[in-house]
Amino acid sequence: MAHQNNDNNTSLTWSGVNANVASPTSNTTASRRALYLKLFSGELFKGFQRNTIARDLITKRTLKNGKSLQFIFTGRTNSEFHVPGQNILGNTDGAPPVAEVTIECDDLLISSAFVYELDETLAHYDLRGEISRKIGYALAENYDRRIFRAVTKAARKAGPIAKTNFVEPGGTQIQVGTSTTSGAEAFDAAKLVAAFYDAAAALDEKGVSSDGRVAVLSPRQYYALINDVSSGVISNGLINRDVQGTALQSGQGVVEIAGIKIHKSMNIPFFGKFGTKYGAASATAPGTTDPGNTGSFVGASMGDQEENATPSGQKTVNDYGEEAKFDHSCGLIFQKEAVGCVEAIGPQVQVTSGDVSVIYQGDVILGRLAMGAAPLNPAAAVELVCGKAALSGNNAAF
């Protein structure tokens, strides 16, 4: 897979450095920096691709020469019998209706680090490569969090078609379990499986294609499914018999439920946090014990990337919702039409050089991307909630 870096007109490849890059034995500054850029880019791309799962699960288009893209959503139409002698000028209901969804690109997202040349000289490991990977991780994390918040928003919206006597289906919320006082049922494997089949039926009833249906759960939910399967509590064939032993040990055993392929991620909205929430069980917490020493990044918010964020928050063009609006969210099931994404700048690497590097005796490694996401077809999105009853109709929680 090739990537073109437009800033320096050099070609980057996954397989290594191509023929346009100077040999590592060349000792000129220009040659070394050209090679650095190729190696940094490769490490960033690998880090980004390894950690983002949302990019290939939704409808994505590349944005060029503009700040927004229009996605056309077409509703359904009816069939009718022809009357002999009557002109055929389109169905009498005027269908299919069409709605236009415009998705704008958010501001430039960056992650950077300064590499001091003396530190690099004294280090006994590839310092720049490790930093590039971590920059890729940071970009991928933010990318996925915005996508999954947009999916959650889609699950709470009505259909985009506005036509008299013509209503397209909207999003769906499904409660895991029955409790309205505790979120602990979010980890109940039997109740999760039941919610999956309910979601699959809802998607079928709304005419959503079965192709490309996926689910994203928190890691503890995913492992709860595997654990119950391995102890024989659930005998629904969630794990392929041919790979059962290996799958259970690797933690990758649950392939799909009701035709829905399952992923796990620390970046889904989960009881107001991301991936996990510690503390005693309540309506807005599943009752997870803090394992200790989890660090400041685990479960943290993302600065509430909503459209009207406070000065301390991260304002974006697209409204991704405040943290409090996800207090009961505990999983997502969706089809690729649920959300649209535009990318103006894919993941790229930039590195300082020349006089700047001489003055500061080091280089700034910068990773950047520009994208935006918003609901496209709400009917294709299902939000799993726990600790409260699911809402119906246009929930308008955003």
Instruction: Give tens-digit pLDDT for 105-138.
Output: 988 888 888 887 777 666 655 677 778 888 888 8
Q: Give me the mean pLDDT over the 296-307 stretch.
A: 63
Q: Which has the minimum average pLDDT: 111-120, 177-186, 265-274, 328-337?
A: 111-120
- 235-271 pLDDT tens trace: 444 555 444 444 444 445 457 888 899 999 999 999 9
Q: Which helix (H) or strand (E) holds 360?
A: helix 355-360
pLDDT for 3 beyond 90: no
Global pTM reads 0.80
CA distance 209 to 186: 26
Q: What are phi and psi of 193, to 5 degrees?
A: -60, -40
Q: Is the pLDDT of residue 99 over 50?
A: yes
pLDDT of residue 25: 47
Q: In sequence order, what are the residues at sequence separation of 6 or more whose Cβ sits closer than 8 angstroms to the Cβ of residue 280? A: 287
pLDDT reading at 50 higher than 70: yes
* Half-sphere exposure (Cβ direction) of 258: Cα atoms closer than 13 Å: 18
Specify the pLDDT at position 161.
Answer: 78
Confidence of residue 71 (pLDDT cuts 50, 70, 90): confident
Q: 18 versus 326: which is more confidently predicted?
A: 326
Beta bridge mates, 104? 68
Q: Before 96, cis peptide (omega within 30)? A: yes
- The pLDDT score that the predictor gives to residue 38 is 53
Percent of the chain as helix, strand, coil, to the nearest 5: 30, 25, 45
Q: Quote the tokens at residue 285.
A: 């917490």
CB 264 within 8 A of CB 219: yes
Q: How far is CA 166 from the centre of its chain?
A: 31
Domain boundaries, the chain: 58-72+97-126+140-289+297-385
Look at residue 14 in the predicted model and tell me its pLDDT: 31
pLDDT band for position 299 (50/70/90)? low
* Cβ atoms of 231 and 225 closer than 8 Å: no
In this model, does residue 183 exceed pLDDT 50?
yes
| pLDDT given at position 390 | 87
Mean pLDDT for the chain overall: 77
Segment 15-27 mean pLDDT: 40
Residue 52: closest CA among 216, 258, 212: 216
Question: Tell me, what's the pLDDT at 357?
Answer: 76
Residue 103, H or E segment:
strand 98-104
Q: Is the CB of residue 364 less than 8 Å from the CB of residue 354?
A: no
Mean pLDDT of the 270-289 span = 90
Q: What are φ and ψ of residue 77, in 5° steps?
A: -130, 170
383, two tokens? 């939000």
Cα distance between residue 289 and residue 281, in whole Å: 10
